[in-house]
Amino acid sequence: MLSVDSDPALGEAVALRTELRRIRRARAADDDASASHAEDLASVEQRLTALEQDPANQSLFASALDERAASLRIAALARRAEAKAERSRAAADAIIARAVRAARPLTSAESDRVRELRARRPDADWQQSIDSVERRDAVLEALGSVRIREARRQLREGLLQTQQMRGIISEAVPALRQGEPVLLVGETGGAKTALAEHLSRVGLGREPELISGYGDITSAQVIGTHELRTEAGATVSVFTPGPLLRAMREGRPVILDEVNAMPPEFLKRLNRILQLRPGDVLHVQEDAGRPVTIASGFAVLATANEQTPHRYRGLDRLSAELVNRFGANAYRVHYPDTGCDYAAFPAENGLLAVAAVADHHGGLPDHVPPEEVIRAARAAFISQQVFAGEHGSGFGEYVSTEREIDGRPGLEESVIAPRTLVAILRKVAGSAGEITLDRAFTRFVEGVMHREDRRVLALILEGQGFRIA
C-alpha cells in the first residue's frame, strides 16, 4: 500500500492540501489581510493542480485515493459496531432508569435483558477486511481520529469520559434520580466539579445550583436570609431564599463544591438536609419555620478534596456522621491513569492532551508536535502520581528522603493536574507558534510558590526532555 512517506509526490500533495485548509481558515478570519491570503491561495491551488494533473502522478494518486477510501470504509464499519454496542449499554441503562423513576425493582425479564445488553460486544467482522500491516495502520489511524474528535467534543462539553468517569456516572445517576446525595472525593484538578455538573446536566437533565465552599460564605447565604426592602413607603423585612432552597423548590440538583471548606454551622445543618428526599418537607428556621416541599429533581452533589496533611489549608475534616449520610454513594475520583505502571504509556492523559488542542478534523496544530504533546502528557501523569502519594517503582525517585520517612508525597502543593495540562497546551496552541511548551512549562514552574515543589516539577519535566530555564 502507498503512503505519504513512500512517495514524495503524495507527501507534497498532502502538504499542499493542508496548506489550502490553513489559508482558507485564515482568509475567513482575517478581513484586513484577505488580499494577501487570496494571492497565497491562488499560488497553492496552482501548484496542487499541476501536481495532480501530471500524467506521471495520476495513477499513483488514484491508487492512493482508492486505498484511503477502502481503509475509511473499514474504519466506518468498526465505528458502527462500537456504536451498536454503546446503544446496547444505553438501552440497559434506560431499563434501570425506568424502574428507578417508578421506585420499583427490576422484573426477572428486565434483569435478564439488562445482563444480555451489557454482555454484548462490538462485532469484529470488519477485521477480516484487513489484509496487510499498512491497511491495519491506516484503519487504526482513522479510528484514532474519530476517537480524538469524540474526546474533543466531550472535553468542550465539560468532561472527558474516561472509563473511570463512565463507571461513576453509571452508578451515580440512578441514585440521584431517587434524590439520594452523592459525594465525589479526590485531589485538586481531577475533574470532580466537572463530573458533578455532567451528572446534573446530562444524567438528570437539569441545570444545577452551584455553591462554592471557598471564601466567607455563611449558612444564611446558602439557605436564605432576610433583606430590608421598601414597599409602599415602608421598610419591610423580606426573606430571600438562597441557592439551596431555590433548588429544593424548583426541583434542581445543587452542587456543594469543596464541601469541606464550608462553615461548620452549615455542615451541621447538612446532616439533616442529606436525609431529605423529593416529597419531604423542610421547615426553614431562617424563615420563621415556613415549610418547603422538596420538588422532584432535587439532589445534593458534594465535592471534597482529599483529607491530606500539609495540604488544602482552610479545609475541615468531614465528620464520620456526615460522610455516612452519603452511604454507598461516595466515589473517589482518581487522576487519569491511576494504577498505570511508571513505564507504561498514560493513555488517558495522552487522549486528554491531544483532545485539548486538536481541531475538528482530529489533527494537531503544526506548531504543536505530537511527540511534545505525548511528553507533556507523560510529565503530567508522573506529577499526578507523585502528588497523590504514589511511591511505587519509578515514582519514588521524585520523593526526598525526608518526605519518604514522614510518609509525605513528593509534591506538597502543586501538580500538573488534568485541568492544568489542558490550560498549558491550549495556551501553546493558541499562540500561533509564539509560545513553546518549554516556555509554557517554565512559566508554570516559576509560578509555583513552594520551593521544593518547583525543584521536583522541574526534575519531572526535564526528565521528559523539556528545558526548564
Provide the residue ranges of all domains of the chain, joining segments of one domain with +. 54-161, 178-333, 347-463
| Residue 421 CA to its chain's centroid (Å) | 11
Beta strands in 135-279 (DSSP E): 182-186, 209-212, 224-231, 234-241, 254-257
Three-state DSSP state, 28: helix
- Placement of cell 496544530 in the chain: 365
Bridge partners, residue 197, by sequence: none
Between the alpha carbon of residue 117 and those of residues 93, 111, 162, 168, 202, the distances in Å are 9, 10, 21, 19, 22
Helix ranges restricted to H, 365-450: 370-387, 401-406, 418-429, 437-446
Q: Is the distance from CB of 394 to CB of 343 less than 8 angstroms?
A: yes
Q: What span, in angstroms and rounded, lies between the C-alpha atoms of 413 and 453?
A: 7
Element (H or E) spanning 146, and its range? Answer: helix 133-157
Q: Which letter does DSSP use for residue 317 in this model?
A: P
Q: Cell 430590608 appears where?
A: 228
Residue 423 CB burial class (10 angstroms; 0-12, 13-18, ≥19): middle
Intervals of the chain under pLDDT 70: 1-6, 31-34, 215, 307-316, 391-392, 401-408
Question: What digits encode the pLDDT tens for the residues 174-222?
Answer: 999 999 999 999 989 999 999 999 999 999 999 999 998 876 777 788 8
Other C-beta atoms closer than 10 Å to the C-beta of 183 total: 25
* Sequence letter at residue 353: A
* Beta pairing class for 281-284 and 290-293: antiparallel
436 alpha carbon, distance to own chain's centre: 24
| AA letter at 349 | N
CB 298 within 8 A of CB 200: no
Residue 14: predicted pLDDT: 80
pLDDT score recorded for residue 9: 81
pLDDT at residue 3, as a whole number: 52
Q: Cα angle vertex 308, ends 305, 310, to 5°?
A: 120
What was the pLDDT predicted at 427? 96
Q: How far is CA 251 from the centre of its chain?
A: 26
In whole angstroms, give the CA distance from residue 9 to residue 56: 10
One-letter amino acid identity for 346? P
279: left (phi over 0), alpha (psi -120 to 50) or beta: left
What pLDDT was estimated at residue 311? 54
* Residue 348, pLDDT score: 95
Closest CA to 437 of 418, 448, 451, 423: 423
Q: Which CATH architecture has domain 178-333?
A: 3-Layer(aba) Sandwich (3.40)
Residue 401's pLDDT is what? 66
